[in-house]
Amino acid sequence: MTILNTVKYYINKEDFDWGRRDITLQLFHPQFELCYAINGIFFRNRESIIRKCFLDGQLLIWKLCWYWLIFIFWVASLYISNTMFYLLWQSIFATVDEHTVRPLMFPIWLPKDDPNRTPNYEVFLSFEILLIFIVICTFGLYVYILFHLLLHYYNLIDVILIALEELFDGLDVSAATLPREDPRRVAVQSELNARMGRIVRWHLSIFDSVDTISSVYGPMLVYQVMFSSVVICLMAYQVSEQLSAGKFDYLFGILTFGACVQLWIPCYIGTLLRTKALSLGDACFYCGWHSTPLALLVRHDLIIFILRAQQPVAIKFTGLPELQLETFSSIMSTAYSYFNMLRQYNSE
């Protein structure tokens, strides 16, 4: 119980000094050194709502990242430990003869040969353990980095929403009726332009970053979407075959669940990102411009921003539909069709 409490304490950052003035993202995410330069977010202003919103979002990212990493290491350790314990039990207590089948993490078939004889068994067992570590270090970290970046910019949209709500706060309303050359109007105009410029920079950075993510991760996402239906189908078929034989292969069941989760994560976050980005237009329209004459000073900027916000933020690549829940639903339907086809073929 102490270990669980320690892990929970670490993930929730209960020892983090939220009131310190020198907070940086490198301090908050000490193991991440990517994509941290966000202009205009002032961490030293402890009274800022933007600061609290951004750090709360980063804390959520921190927790979800650790939950995902713990999950994939747990699945990998289950596969290795289950095989090793069963092999140990077989070596100590079981009666070994030429018909004894030694356990493998994944079933293997060889034409005109027995995969359980020495040295085939030792080679395949070592290869499968190595394969599990390769999957953890590549695919597991790939999914984590992808949804970390997407959540990072989803959090930035929340910051933009707050900035829109505070666009006209604390400004001299009477300055809007003054001549253009009046120092008071010039000062208010400069402050409004700075606030609006910051919002526009954040908004453009989201489009640029998502486009960059699409170009970098696009090829891998295409393969992930293309082959996930086949992989999920084969795993589900393995589980169903074991159930037909009166057994339940819980390891393959967990692996099937993990295969669904690794596809659901980017699709779900892609939908959240798209929906939240489209809400920026409504947030700008209801930011209070109709109740203050200061809107005359930035009316063209507001109109351009609302028009720009109608463009959806989506992860797209050649050969890849937009990454959203509709994509996940389509892939699962395809996997279920393949699964039914295999079951029908096997029954015949």
**What digits encode the pLDDT tens for the residues 92-132?**
776 655 566 777 877 787 887 777 777 888 888 888 888 88
Tens digit of each residue's pLDDT (9 = 90 or more) over 34-61: 444 444 444 455 556 777 787 788 888 8
pLDDT (0 to 100) of residue 327: 85
Over range 243-258, report the average pLDDT.
83
Give the dihedral of Cα atoms 288, 291, 294, 295; nearest 10 deg.
60
Q: Give the Cα separation of 233 and 334 in Å (integer).
A: 9
Helix-helix angle 325-347:250-285, to 10 degrees: 150
- Residue 248: half-sphere exposure toward Cβ, Cα within 13 Å: 3
- When comparing pLDDT for 16 and 27, which is higher? 16
Work out the percent of the chain whose per-residue pLDDT is above 90. 1
Please give the backbone phi and psi of residue 119, each rounded to the nearest 5 degrees, phi first: -95, 5
The pLDDT score that the predictor gives to residue 133 is 85
* pTM score over 0.85: no
Higher pLDDT, 111 or 336: 336
Q: Which residue is it, tokens 């453009």?
A: 204
How confident is the model over 290-296, as a mean pLDDT? Answer: 84
Q: Which residues contact 149 (CB under 8 A, 6 or more apart)?
A: 34, 35, 209, 213
